Structure 1
Amino acid sequence: AFALFWWASLASSFGSMIQTVGASWLMATIAPSAGMVALVQTAGSLPFFFLSLAAGAYADTRDRRAIMLFSQVLALSASVGLAIVVYAGAITPSLLLGFTFLIGCGAAIFAPAWQASIGDQVPRALIAPAVMANAVGFNLARSVGPAIGGVIVAAAGAAIAFVVNAFSYLGILATLAWWRPQRARSELPPEPLGTALAAGVRYVSLSPHLIAILLRCALYTIPIVAVPSLMPVVARDLLGGGAATYGVLMGGFGVGAMLGALSSAALRQRCSSDALFRALSALACVAIVGIGRSHWMPVTLLAMVLAGSAWTLAFANFNIAVQLSSPRWVTGRMLAIYQTVAFASMALGSWGWGEFADAAGLREALTMAGIAALGSLAVARWLPVSVAPLGALDPRSRADLVPPSVDIHSTSGPVVVAIEYHVRPENAVEFVAVINEVGRIRRRDGARAWSISQDVDAVNLWIERFECPTWLDYLRWRTRTTQSDFAVRERLLRLVEDDHLRVRRLVVRPPGSHPLGAPAEPSVTDADRGAHGPW
């Protein structure tokens, strides 16, 4: 399945590159300001900001294949519509941006499900090579596609470029129609969208290593996006060229990107993720400043190759870091949040550098972008990027659920869990440190109102308390333990007296609720108790 998807995505990537050349050059001819040209990049990036998180939530809780099919049909329809409008001679800057936005919507919906599905196509140990293989394919298209796009636009016009892009979606659609992945069946119903979104945001907000990855990504993306977003203006104003020159520059950027993807495995073996991102920040600075100060096509092309390498190495390794730092139950949402950050940064950077170029000049804008690229390097000491060891985030089966003594409906709650620990005084300091780490993990996985208390009369007694909104949420929370979480729990249990560990599960009974286990009142029906039945 992975091989078929690779070839289909390669064809789609060629179409996307040709589409990008056509849209950017078309904008450069109908609205020649740098700001309007840069807005093409912004229009394609904004959907990732607005839609990625919801798409990631659905990718984790619904059928990923169906989501990908829908997204590709949407993008295909928008591409066909854009080609028709251009053929009719009715294109305006607003219409071009609107169709670009719709095509971006298809890509934004597709991306989280597609990237999360890599784990359905290959074992977890092969996720990093699979991500890099996709990067090689994408950047092979980036290296050749823009040159082809430039030739198509110069010879036949932008409308043909949009038609080619429309045909490029057919391979992905055919592969998705054939693919029937095996999905693990859950005994629990899928989370509603709002609950799933909240769970994803909560997970990342309580994961310091993911926060570091996202912040470094934003600081890296805003400067380097100046290169692709201002490339048409570089070709036109700094080099005095046309669509063919723009295609050559895009091709140089793509060659560098492909070289970066091919070298990634060797670089990952030789240095840590954090060291690699530090080096890439410096490389990006050199490349962007070089593009801005160059007056000669060969120098600009060399700088484009360096920028392409820095672009692909960084984004592919950000993607790998996020995937390998996220358990399977939330991978789609973590990738979506990463993409939201990355594409929001692209949209902001594209708009900002376009406005800067209009106000102060193109060379000055690129020079400032190059200096800004060092921002990610400056904060690396406080925001190190690390990747979880292989297997650390694999699911860890809990002990079988001890069934409650009475029927509990899925909507009953809140459910309060209270755990009593007896800790010797000599272990108390270490216990406090470990139990607070346990609390962070519990809150990250869905627990609320977590606290740890010490008995003032029996100081050896500690009580941990947390809540889940409903019994169903409590059951979901139990499924989210990973191997690394279990290791923290093992550290905790070594500090506790073995025969003094007691767990209580309580259901809050507000005024007017019927007591559990009491004889049913004639007026109490199953609908009054909950819609999903007992669990």
Structure 2
Amino acid sequence: MSAAPSTPGPSMSDSPWAPFAARVFRALWIAQLVSNVGSWMQTVGAQWLLLGHNAALVTLVQTASSLPVVLLALPSGVVADRFDRRSVLLVAQFAMLAVSGALAVLTFTDALTPTALLALTFVLGCGTALMGPAWQAIQPELVERRRLGQAAALGAVNMNLARAVGPALGGAVVAAAGAGWVFAFNAVSYLGIAAVLVLWQRPRTALPTGGNERLPAALNAGRRYVWNAPGVRRVLLRTTLFIPGGAALWSLLPLSASRSLGLGSGGYGLLLTAVGVGAVAGAFALPRIQRVLGVNGTLAAGALVFAAVLAVLATVRAPWLVTVALLPAGLAWIGVLSTLNAAVQTRLPGWVRARGLAVYLLVFQGGQALAAPLWGVVADWLGLTAALLVAGAVMLLSAASVRRWPLHDAEGIDPSLSDHWPAPPLVFEPGEADGPVLVSVVYRVAPDHRAEFTDRMSHVARSRRRTGALEWGLYQDGHDPERFVENYLVASWAEHLAQHHSRLTVTDRRHEERARALLVPGTLPEVTHAFAAGSGPVVPDRTEQAQYSSRSR
């Protein structure tokens, strides 16, 4: 099965279904739908088995599923950036198949205790954590870059179709045959994704090129990038402000179904189906909503709708009315999360994509893992109605905060690779581990442009730090005010070569060009590379030399 995206005719270029022209994407989407249905069936079965216990124990199912992301998201991102992502996904599929099979066997033999159920759910969550960054990161390999937004929307449709079908099917199966069968179906559902991955002929150009970067260094590289990317940080902030209140719906809905509405497992499944149907409708309405409200208006409106739905859930006791109210909840959920997911995808370059997405998944899933038991404790302490109203108030605060902390405009951001630095013509060949390396760049800036140059160099500073600089500074020569010196320190020669050839983006190049446009006409920056005295490589016939430099760009 070829991995090359198909090229449909012009009539499909703007269609929401255009990514389906790529065979691997289409096959994986279908297999993922089956697997997602199995996951939702399992969630219903697990929560229903615990309904005889206190509220906190029921909400721990969501925590057990999400907490592994907190622990493993960042290492999983490193694994997905360093190793063959297809192999990573296959390992995750077979591991989750084994765990779901164990849950089914224990349930059929009446040996499944609440502790064992939560423990195995946690292990299953570890497989999901391993799979998440790799799954997100392969999307640009399956469809053309211009269709990534449509692919993300179809991914959201997939999840919410599963939410529409899985809970209702799971509730019906639990009621008719018992929870063991939903666990068994979930185990079998992983085979479809595994089969597609085995047949996928991933192009060699997509294979990892990260070299032998060690785990701590790779983690630090991902952390540095996210910390010095204001656009990515703002996406993470908006996610942090939305998820705690949103998690209340998922963690408290089974309690509302059984205690407030008097529904059984089938009724609970229908409530989740209503959310899923609303989300599927929202996926197709989202482009129009964003055209009318804008990205930040969509975030604020989604939080307001969620607050209203939580209030209805807290005060209304008519099942049919609650079911109707959950339809816009699904629309709001998909509107907010699709907006945030698309925002982080468009801001991440390929070399750190999985690690950046891992941080996003960490905030998203970790927020749910931490908030879910908290809402259970609040429900036990203050009552279910009060817990839902408090969650609604949290969502109102989230909506109000959009004006203060909106998403940054992504116009002009281009994370495509830009290999625009020439190779430094040193008089020796350093080893990859040699370093640290001090890079100095000398600029000559006209007097009228000094303040503006300093301001534009702040963007260059973030670029340097994103791509590997441990320290950065800009200095003005006291004897020659036109002369500015930029110094930044990189941990090793390998890290600096990565800056040259695999980490710089078109956006980084544009920041450099904007700063250099203010230089004295006819002058060029002068670059030197220096190694720590006594620890750098030795140049033949110059053993007493402690610093080596080269003029390059």
The counterpart of 1:44, out of the listed 49, 61, 65, is: 65
DSSP-derived class of the 2:402 partner: coil
Shift of 1:152: 0.0
Residues 506 and 520 (structure 1 numbering): CA distance in 2 closer, same or farther, change over 3 Å?
closer
Aligned to 2:424: 402
Answer yes or no: is the 8 Å Cα contact 1:223–1:372 preserved in 2.
Answer: yes
Shift of 1:255: 1.0
Answer yes or no: is the 8 Å Cα contact 2:444–2:525 preserved in 1.
Answer: yes
Residues 387 and 3 (structure 1 numbering): CA distance in 2 closer, same or farther, change over 3 Å?
farther
DSSP-derived class of the 1:419 partner: strand
Q: Distance in 1 between matches of 2:250 and 2:208?
A: 43
Shift of 1:516: 2.3
Aligned to 1:97: 118
Q: Distance in 2 between matches of 1:390 and 1:154?
A: 54
Aligned to 1:352: 374
Aligned to 2:178: 157
Aligned to 1:524: none
Residues 361 and 141 (structure 1 numbering): CA distance in 2 closer, same or farther, change over 3 Å?
same
> Matched residues, percent identical?
36
Answer yes or no: is the 8 Å Cα contact 1:227–1:307 preserved in 2.
Answer: no
Aligned to 2:10: none
Aligned to 2:445: 423
Shift of 1:378: 2.3
Shift of 1:363: 0.8
Residues 471 and 96 (structure 1 numbering): CA distance in 2 closer, same or farther, change over 3 Å?
same
**Counterpart check, 1:488 vs 2:531:** no
Q: Distance in 2 between matches of 1:261 and 1:188?
A: 35
Gaps of 5+ in 1: 522-535
Shift of 1:183: 4.0
Answer yes or no: is the 8 Å Cα contact 1:11–1:168 preserved in 2.
Answer: yes
Aligned to 1:367: 389
| Greater alpha carbon shift after TM alignment, 180-189 vs 326-335 | 180-189
Aligned to 2:15: none
1:74-107 per-residue CA deviation (whole Å, 9 max, x = no partner) reads: 1111100111111111111111101111111111
Aligned to 1:452: 474
Answer yes or no: is the 8 Å Cα contact 1:274–1:386 preserved in 2.
Answer: no
Shift of 1:515: 3.4
Aligned to 2:42: 19
| Greater alpha carbon shift after TM alignment, 229-238 vs 495-504 | 495-504
**Alignment size in residue pairs:** 518
Residues 259 and 235 (structure 1 numbering): CA distance in 2 closer, same or farther, change over 3 Å?
same
Shift of 1:233: 0.9
Runs of 4+ more than 2 Å apart: 183-188, 265-272, 386-391, 497-501, 513-521
**TM-score of the aligned structures, taking structure 1 as reference length:** 0.94
Answer yes or no: is the 8 Å Cα contact 1:52–1:339 preserved in 2.
Answer: yes
Aligned to 1:505: 529
Q: Which amino acid aligns with 1:486?
A: R
Shift of 1:399: 3.8
Shift of 1:330: 1.2
Answer yes or no: is the 8 Å Cα contact 1:415–1:471 preserved in 2.
Answer: yes
Q: Which amino acid aligns with 2:47?
A: S
DSSP-derived class of the 2:427 partner: coil
Shift of 1:514: 6.1
The counterpart of 1:245, out of the listed 251, 259, 267, is: 267
Shift of 1:56: 1.1
**Counterpart check, 1:212 vs 2:234:** yes
| Greater alpha carbon shift after TM alignment, 41-50 vs 191-200 | 191-200
| Greater alpha carbon shift after TM alignment, 241-250 vs 154-163 | 241-250
**Counterpart check, 1:83 vs 2:104:** yes
DSSP-derived class of the 2:51 partner: helix
Q: Distance in 2 between matches of 1:114 and 1:133?
A: 14
Answer yes or no: is the 8 Å Cα contact 2:106–2:112 preserved in 1.
Answer: yes
The counterpart of 2:454, out of the listed 428, 432, 436, is: 432
Q: Distance in 2 between matches of 1:188 and 1:137?
A: 32
Q: Distance in 2 between matches of 1:51 and 1:500?
A: 46
Aligned to 1:57: 78
**CA-based RMSD:** 1.7
DSSP-derived class of the 2:43 partner: helix
Answer yes or no: is the 8 Å Cα contact 2:314–2:384 preserved in 1.
Answer: yes
Shift of 1:390: 7.1
Answer yes or no: is the 8 Å Cα contact 2:84–2:208 preserved in 1.
Answer: no
Q: Distance in 1 between matches of 2:386 and 2:269?
A: 23
Q: Distance in 1 between matches of 2:60 and 2:492?
A: 46
The counterpart of 2:354, out of the listed 326, 332, 338, is: 332
Answer yes or no: is the 8 Å Cα contact 1:253–1:307 preserved in 2.
Answer: yes
**TM-score of the aligned structures, taking structure 2 as reference length:** 0.91
Gaps of 5+ in 2: 1-23, 545-553
DSSP-derived class of the 2:180 partner: helix
Answer yes or no: is the 8 Å Cα contact 2:70–2:365 preserved in 1.
Answer: yes
